[in-house]
């Protein structure tokens, strides 16, 4: 995928989608497809989107994440974002939007021990 989407399901009921590079118009549709497939898996209850390696988040990327959160919630799943405190602009933009559960690390999110 453009932008470097890496999908890794570490363990059910938690799936981790790690992204690198930029989230923009070129890769938002693919991100939506990947997360929709995860949401259809009956073993997945929570999706963590790891943004620690994302350097740029376009407006369409924010819209994509908001839409994913709403779609997952409608299916009874939760969406959590992992954004490093050092992520500067990405963290500031996401902090302005109500409703996101943001962790500083995968450890804090409970994705790794």
Tell me the per-residue pLDDT of 45-97, one tens digit each, with 9 for 90 and over: 889 999 998 888 999 999 999 999 999 999 888 999 999 988 788 988 998 89
- pLDDT value for 5: 61
Contact 34, 16 (CB under 8 A): no
Contact 52, 17 (CB under 8 A): no
59-74 helix and 28-40 helix, angle to the nearest 10 degrees: 10
Mean predicted lDDT score pLDDT of the chain: 85
Other Cβ atoms less than 10 A from the Cβ of 41: the count is: 14
Helix (H) or strand (E) holding 6: strand 5-11
- pLDDT value for 43: 84
């Amino acid at each position: 995928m453009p932008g470097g989407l890496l999908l890794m399901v570490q363990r059910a009921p938690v799936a981790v989608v790690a992204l690198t590079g930029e989230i923009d118009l070129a890769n938002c549709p693919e991100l939506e497809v990947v997360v929709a497939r995860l949401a259809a898996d009956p073993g997945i209850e929570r999706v963590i989107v790891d943004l620690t390696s994302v350097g740029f988040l376009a407006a369409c990327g924010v819209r994509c994440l908001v839409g994913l959160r709403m779609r997952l919630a409608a299916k009874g799943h939760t969406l959590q974002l992992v954004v490093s405190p050092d992520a500067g602009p990405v963290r500031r933009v996401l902090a302005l939007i109500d409703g996101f559960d943001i962790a500083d690390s995968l450890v804090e999110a409970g994705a790794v021990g």
